[in-house]
């Protein structure tokens, strides 16, 4: 215990200086592992550009030389919320400003924005608010798309991106065909502050870089607490409570995590973005082991389009950031194995220059919001028409699969699809509804040469238009059919 006593004394004697962000360039993988093992708080990293931003004590930033010969101490405003902002978030939106914004938006555009509601509470009992947007016109079934922010409480840039997008949708509904189409054909759900306890602490009083929630003893990293592959390994996710990436005592242990999970399960979204900062990335699953999901081709195509104008780096966590992370929200949201259908979930790390970089720079913040707005619009326009797994647009199927018409069509009791195959193989048959949900799946049907009939029962399906997809060794074919009752 002697060490503990000494440590406490050292902390008490330490002058009140904030840590500084140090950008270390050309960090070799071993040096990176050493940085993490030494307990440094890694703010962001870019494996593609080759830098890592780390918090280091003000008077010991030269420690960075241990890890690389090239580093720079970033300007102070990149590391902390400035005292000049009087205990508020500067150009960002504080807790109070969030409450005011969403309430006003709902009052001003009552036809498009529902009154904010609480979907759960934090460790300290604060409400986690949700706002739904949709117009009163359009089809009776509208697919859901979600946006969350401030899972990590020191990342207000994502919150600003949500506020900007909600404001854009409401303000432009009557003048912009895309805003009108989105609200007429989808339901957009916003959870602007997932981690309200720590965000309040970060904004009041001035200065705060708390990442984790307020769970005992020293907070849990909510983005390592989700049950899917929780604690898979200790890479980017720590079993140690003092770590900034502490994953919690058990999978899904935190009330904030549970709130988001219950919420996602209740809306069955087709797509969505968990917003973080910073680095300028669009990340797709799987983060826990850097492997491709079955929807990799679709993810790659979407990511290419979504980052066309903002130049964000896209890929999986490991390839873009340089480390894997288990128990994160996007892996769980994409595919939890239950609770909700597969969902095209993404993580955005918006901005490129720090957690609070734009606090005194409203035009810089506006530019960052615009970078995100295009991605948000694109996702909302495309996701509702997404017809599912392995939709390999732009790639050449390695095995040619062709499909005849679904007969009978319209179908009432039984439909079968004719599949002609060049050689034998195991095929997967899926039926998706127009929102891209899998409503029927037969994972492995052995097809022999000349035996090319695949039968799909449709007796459980209600009236509607469906998409049938057949895949074999990376090749894909499909067709649409109608069920009439
Ligand atoms: Zn984050």
Contacts of 349 (CB under 8 A, 6+ apart): 44, 276, 277, 278, 279, 280, 281, 283
**Domain co-membership, 121 together with 257:** yes
**What string of H, E and C letters represents the secondary structure of 195-239?**
CHHHHHHHHCCCCCCCCCCCCCCCCCCHHHCCCCCCCCCCCCCEC
| Contact status, residue 1 vs residue 31, Cβ threshold 8 Å | no
Task: Show which of 350, 385, 420 is a domain's final residue.
Answer: 385
Take residue 483 and report the two structure tokens written for it.
Answer: 């069920």
How many CA atoms does the CB half-sphere of 152 hold within 13 Å? 28
CATH number for the domain that contains residue 60: 3.30.70
371 is catalytic: no
Query: Which strands, in side-by-side order, build the sheet including 117-121?
Result: 117-121, 127-133, 187-191, 144-148, 271-277, 344-350, 281-284, 313-316
**Cα of 328 to ligand 1 centre, how many Å?**
10
In a domain, 118, yes or no: yes
Q: For the segment 388-418, what is each residue's pLDDT rounded down to a tens digit?
A: 433 333 333 345 555 656 666 666 655 665 6
Classify residue 107 by burial, with Cβ atoms within 10 Å: 0-12, 13-18, 19+: exposed
Residue 396 belongs to a domain: no
Answer whether 112's CB lies under 8 Å from 183's CB. yes
Query: What's residue 225's pLDDT?
Result: 98
Same domain, 140 and 176: yes
Specify the 3-state DSSP secondary structure of 344.
strand
Strands 51-56 and 20-25, bridge-based pairing: antiparallel
CB-based contacts of 396, cutoff 8 Å, min separation 6: none
**Ligand 1 midpoint to CA 358 (Å):** 17
**Calpha distance 51→28 (Å, rounded):** 10
Dist. CA 401 → ligand 1 center (Å): 42
Q: In which domain, by residue range, is 463 found?
A: 402-483
Could you say which residues of the chain have pLDDT below 50?
1-17, 387-398
* Ligand 1 mean position, distance from CA 246 (Å): 13
For the beta carbon of residue 120, count every other beta carbon within 10 angstroms: 20
pLDDT at position 408: 65
Rounded CA separation 470/454 (Å): 9
The answer to whether the beta carbons of residues 271 and 333 sit under 8 Å apart is no
Separation of 387 CA from ligand 1 center, angstroms?
Answer: 30
CATH of the domain at 442: 2.60.40.380
End-to-end CA distance of the chain: 74
State in Å: Cα 55 to ligand 1 middle. Answer: 15
Closest CA to 417 of 463, 452, 465, 459: 452
**For residue 143, is it within any domain?**
yes
Q: Which of 326, 304, 305 is nearest to 315 (CA)?
A: 304
Ligand 1 center to 152 CA (angstroms) = 5
What torsion do the CA atoms of 129, 130, 133, 139 make, to the nearest 10 degrees? -160
With beta carbons less than 8 A apart as the criterion, state whether 244 and 41 touch. yes
End of a domain among 385, 418, 452?
385
148 and 30 belong to one structural domain = no
Distance CA 305, CA 379 (A): 10
pLDDT at residue 118 in the model: 97
Ligand 1 centroid to Cα of residue 15, in Å, is 28
Same domain, 45 and 130: no
* Boundary of a domain, candidates 356, 385, 414: 385
Angle at 349 between CA 347 and CA 353, to 5 degrees: 180
Same domain, 209 and 313: yes
Q: Do 180 and 301 belong together in one domain? A: yes
Residues 68 and 91 in one domain: no
**What is the distance in A from the centroid of ligand 1 to the CA of 296?**
23
Q: Does the residue 395 lie in any domain?
A: no
H/E run at residue 22: strand 20-25
Give the total number of structural domains in the chain: 3
Please give the distance, rounded to the nearest whole angstrom, from the Cα atom of residue 114 to the centre of ligand 1: 27
Q: Residues 353, 414: one domain?
A: no
Q: Is residue 476 part of a domain?
A: yes
CA distances from 250 to 120, 264, 349, 366 (A): 19, 20, 26, 39
- Is 82 among the domain residues? no
Verify that 352 and 447 share a domain, yes or no.
no
Q: Tokens 């290419």 — which residue? A: 304
- Contact by Cβ (8 Å): 384, 185: yes
Cβ(404)–Cβ(418) below 8 Å: yes
User: What is the 264 CA–ligand 1 centroid distance (Å)?
Assistant: 19
Helix 177-185 to helix 362-382 angle (10° resolution) is 60
Distance CA 335, CA 283 (A): 15
Same domain, 348 and 284: yes
104 found inside a domain: yes
Same domain assignment for residues 244 and 164? yes
Would residue 5 count as lying in a domain? no
148 alpha carbon – ligand 1 mean position (Å): 11
Distance 161 CA to ligand 1 centre (A): 14
Give the pLDDT confidence score for residue 246 in this predicted structure.
Answer: 97
Same domain, 203 and 312: yes
What distance in Å separates the CA atoms of residue 182 and residue 173, rounded to the nearest whole number? 9
- CATH number, domain of 180, equals 3.40.630.10
Catalytic residue chosen out of the listed positions 77, 80, 244, 349: 349
Torsion of CA 106, 107, 112, 118, to 10 degrees: 30
């Amino acid at each position: 215990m002697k060490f503990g006593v000494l440590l406490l004394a050292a902390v008490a004697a330490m002058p009140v200086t904030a840590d500084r962000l140090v950008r270390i360039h050309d960090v070799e993988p071993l040096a990176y592992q050493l940085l993490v093992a030494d307990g440094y708080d890694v703010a962001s990293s870019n494996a593609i550009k080759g830098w890592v931003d780390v918090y280091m004590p003000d008077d010991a930033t030269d420690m960075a030389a241990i890890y690389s010969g090239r580093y720079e101490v970033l300007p102070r405003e990149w590391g902390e919320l400035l005292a000049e902002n009087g205990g508020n978030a500067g150009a960002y939106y504080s807790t109070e400003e969030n409450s005011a914004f969403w309430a006003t938006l709902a009052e001003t555009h009552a036809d498009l924005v529902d009154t904010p509601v609480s979907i759960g509470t934090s460790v300290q009992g604060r409400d986690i608010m949700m706002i739904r947007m949709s117009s009163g016109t359009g089809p009776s079934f509208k697919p859901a798309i979600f946006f969350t922010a401030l899972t990590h409480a020191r990342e207000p840039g994502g919150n600003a991106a949500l506020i900007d997008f909600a404001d854009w949708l409401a303000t432009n509904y009557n003048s912009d065909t895309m805003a009108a189409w989105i609200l007429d054909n989808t339901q957009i759900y916003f959870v602007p502050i997932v981690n309200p306890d720590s965000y309040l602490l970060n904004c009041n009083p001035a200065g705060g870089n708390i990442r984790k929630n307020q769970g005992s003893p020293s907070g849990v990293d909510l983005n390592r607490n989700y049950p899917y592959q929780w604690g898979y390994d200790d890479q980017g996710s720590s079993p140690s409570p003092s770590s900034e990436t502490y994953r919690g005592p058990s999978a899904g242990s935190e009330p904030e995590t549970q709130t988001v999970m219950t919420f996602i399960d209740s809306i069955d979204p087709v797509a969505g973005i968990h917003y973080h900062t910073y680095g300028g990335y669009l990340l797709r699953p799987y983060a826990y082991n850097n492997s491709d999901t079955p929807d990799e081709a679709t993810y790659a195509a979407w990511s290419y389009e979504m980052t066309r104008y903002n130049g964000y780096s896209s890929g999986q966590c490991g390839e873009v950031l340089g480390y894997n992370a288990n128990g994160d929200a996007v892996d769980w949201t994409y595919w939890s194995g239950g609770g909700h259908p597969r969902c095209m979930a993404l993580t955005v790390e918006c901005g490129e220059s720090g957690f609070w970089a734009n606090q005194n720079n409203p035009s810089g913040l506006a530019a960052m919001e615009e970078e995100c707005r295009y991605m948000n619009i694109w996702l909302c326009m495309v996701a509702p028409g997404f017809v599912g797994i392995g939709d390999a647009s732009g790639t050449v199927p390695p095995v040619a699969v062709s499909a005849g018409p679904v007969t009978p069509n319209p179908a009432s009791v039984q439909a079968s699809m004719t599949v002609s195959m060049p050689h034998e193989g195991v095929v997967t048959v899926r039926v998706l509804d127009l929102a891209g949900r899998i409503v029927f799946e037969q994972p492995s049907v052995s097809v022999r040469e000349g035996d090319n009939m695949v039968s799909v029962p449709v007796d459980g399906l209600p009236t509607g238009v469906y998409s049938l997809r057949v895949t074999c060794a990376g090749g894909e074919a499909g067709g649409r059919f109608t069920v009439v009752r």
